[in-house]
Amino acid sequence: MKAVEVIDLVKYYDSFQALRGVSFQVQEGEIFGLIGPNGAGKTTTLRILATLLKPSSGTVKIFGYDVVKEADSVRQCISYLPEDAGAYKELTGLDYLKFIARFFAKSESEFKQMVEKGVQMANLGEKIKAKVATYSKGMTRRLLIARALMVNPKLAILDEPTSGLDVLNAQDVRKMIKDYAKNGGTVLLSSHNMLEVDFLCDRIALVNNGQIVKSGTPNQLKEEYKASNIEEVFIEVVRCSGTC
Ligand SMILES: Nc1ncnc2c1ncn2[C@@H]1O[C@H](COP(=O)(O)OP(=O)(O)OP(=O)(O)O)[C@@H](O)[C@H]1O
């Protein structure tokens, strides 16, 4: 089944056109990455999918539900993690996970399962009982990713999940995302780190200047452009656009 179907998505901020006809699909169980430089339109796309921003035109469906006409049904399928998300600093990590789980769990046993899963995913050891105010950036990010995934969304929308993290924390977060998809979840993420998506994503779309300039599996793209990594592919695609 199609988890995401985006057709000819356009977004204007006043007279500025941030998205110029973006189309892509994500299949259930995939990790799909929107990759591109700062200002390419990744966050705008993700915020529209998360029902936080209205498109100017085009169609977006999440598991068959229209993000404009059926926003409530879409919200029940997704978990969205913004790039600049924060957690309540005065709560402990554990209390924060419990606070979130209360909104989503339909029974006491589901609540317990969610919290247990969140604690396991965040993998913060004894620090889970310390206040979020005492966490490093990496620890907070791990808590937030755990929060987004523990509620078992059909689709996790993660904006720059590893942004600002050191190598070890970034690797932990990537593993959390991989494990989530291995267990049947679908993930749509954005990144401007073109090297990490090789490891993480089943398929990627390269976004530049409000448009998807190329999409495929990382291997397909590297082969097509005889490149050793996605950064080289991106440079080649942008260099060639309009001239090759
Ligand atoms: N609220 C807004 N009002 C006006 N312009 C905006 C607004 N939000 C984004 N933009 C513009 O739209 C374009 C796309 O921005 P967007 O945040 O979607 O890019 P991005 O690919 O997520 O970038 P980054 O990697 O830096 O987060 C940029 O030129 C940005 O300046």
Q: Is 51 contained in some domain?
A: yes
Predicted confidence (pLDDT) at residue 227 exceeds the cutoff of 70: yes
Locate the ligand 1 atom nearest the alpha carbon of residue 41 and give its number: 18
On whether residue 114 sits in a domain, the answer given is no
Instruction: Note whether residue 39 is domain-resident.
Output: yes
Ligand 1, closest atom to CA 207? 21
Please give the single-letter amino acid code of residue 4: V
pLDDT level of residue 174 (50, 70, 90 thresholds)? very high
- Atom 6 of ligand 1: nearest residue by CA position: 13
- Condensed to tens digits (0 to 9), the pLDDT of residues 16-44 reads 999 999 999 999 999 999 998 889 999 99
What pLDDT is stored for residue 84 in this prediction?
80
171 within a domain of the structure (yes/no): yes
Residue 145 lies in a domain: no
Query: What's 226's domain CATH number?
Result: 3.40.50.300
Query: Phi/psi of residue 79, each to 5°?
Result: -135, 125
User: Does 78 map to a domain?
Assistant: yes
Residue 37: give the domain boundaries. Answer: 2-84+153-242
Q: What is the ipTM of this complex?
A: 0.96
Q: What is the spatial order of strands in the sheet that 57-62 belongs to?
A: 16-27, 2-13, 57-62, 65-66
41 in ligand 1 pocket by Cβ < 6 Å?
yes
Count how many domains the chain has. Answer: 1
Q: Which long-range contacts (CB under 8 A, 24 or more apart) does 52-55 make?
A: 52/80, 53/11, 55/9, 55/10, 55/11, 55/19
Best CA proximity match to 124, nearest among 151, 145, 153, 100: 145
Q: Are 220 and 69 in contact (CB under 8 A)?
A: no
**pLDDT above 70: residue 121:** yes
Average pLDDT, stretch 151-160? 95
